[in-house]
Amino acid sequence: MKKKPLIALIGTGGTIAGSAPSRTQSARYLPASVGVEAIVDGIPELRENYAVSLAQPFQLASYDMAPRQWMQLLGVVGAALADPAVDGAIITHGTDTLEETAFFLHLSLDTIKPAVLVGAMRPSTAYSADGPANILDAFRVASDGGACGRGCLVVMNGRIHGARDVSKRHVSSVEAFDSGLAGAVGEVSDQQVRWFQRAWRPPVLSLDLRAELPRVDIVASYAGSDAVALEACVKAGARGIVHAGLGNGNAPPGVREALQTLVNKGVALGRCSRWIPGGLTRNSTMFDDDRLGIWTAGALPPHKLRIAMMVAIAHGLKGSDVQAWLDRVVEPASTA
């Protein structure tokens, strides 16, 4: 008899574990109200085809997820995948911050084994629940050899996304997640996996699980904005600031001067564009990033640049070493 793949299923809550008073309700429900064991029991095919180990480190709506839960989850997932018998791990998660948790693990989880985040846009009690199909797809991906060496993946609605590029782009549709210009890395159809892109991930930075991640805040520019928000974040103890700039990372007059003095005050500064696609120009006509010690990361959006800065600072990288690592986060190393 063929040995069943052993998959660690780690529940954290979210809509995929949500319930509503009526099966016709899909938008008004209580998230994080069904345990991971009940989710598995509701999908008989899982135990038929896989050996499953279960863990439930916490039960949250993902809008309640915070850096301390990321660190806790890093420990739980890392320990599960360190077991030689375990083939892969799946983390059930709410969709509001799913891409953030995925990217954090992508940068800090040191393993070639698959780690797959999966969520749902509709609660488990709804007639139209998408969770069971997404979980079945996630198990198939986590047990596929082609998933190895890709870092953290997200499986939703038949698509496999890389943690670097995936974003939630719709409030309620089951097609809420996509990877923008980069595209999905693969798909699952009738439990068959097809890969579109080669396996690649950036260098992982190890973290002390006993430590807290540093505070890094996001400050967005807009027409007529000034330095009030920047100054408030610094006063609150931010170790770093992500400036979500206009267009190609630009800043209006009221913000420019304050940004250019942040690094001298001991506050790390990362620069990116304000929620629009396209790779940022480093050393632009407005910002001499090399001279000012500003970090950039291509097309990373603000919330992901924030996570990368948190990980880099927590690991102990400094100055140009951070920029060299960020360059590897957004682009594979040259093989020429």
List pLDDT tens digits, range 71-120. Answer: 999 999 999 999 999 999 999 999 999 999 999 999 999 999 999 999 99
Contacts of 53 (CB under 8 A, 6+ apart): 6, 7, 8, 9, 80, 86
> pLDDT tens digits, the chain, 336 residues: what are they?
679 999 999 999 998 888 877 776 666 777 878 889 999 999 999 999 999 999 999 999 999 999 999 999 999 999 999 999 999 999 999 999 999 999 999 999 999 999 999 999 988 888 788 999 999 999 999 999 999 999 999 999 999 999 999 999 999 999 999 999 999 999 999 999 999 999 999 999 999 999 999 999 999 999 999 999 999 999 999 999 999 999 999 999 989 999 988 988 999 999 999 988 899 999 999 999 999 999 999 999 999 999 999 999 999 999 999 999 999 999 886 543
Euclidean distance between CA atoms 305 and 275, whole angstroms = 12
| Beta strand extents in the chain (DSSP E only) | 6-11, 51-55, 88-92, 115-118, 152-156, 159-162, 167-168, 177-178, 186-189, 192-195, 216-220, 240-245, 268-273, 295-296
CATH architecture of the domain formed by 6-195:
3-Layer(aba) Sandwich (3.40)
Domain positions in the chain are: 6-195, 216-330
Q: Are 37 and 46 within 8 A, CB to CB?
A: no
Task: Indicate if 216-330 has the same CATH topology as 6-195.
Answer: yes
Q: In this structure, what are the phi and psi dihedrals at residue 304, rounded to the nearest 5 degrees?
A: -85, -35
In the residue annotation, 15 being an active-site residue is answered as: yes
The CATH number that domain 216-330 falls under is: 3.40.50.40
Residue 305, CA distances (Å) to 184, 218, 333 in order: 20, 9, 19
pTM of the model: 0.95
**Percent helix, percent strand, percent coil in the chain, to nearest 5:** 35, 20, 45
- Choosing from 15, 97, 125, 296, the catalytic residue is 15
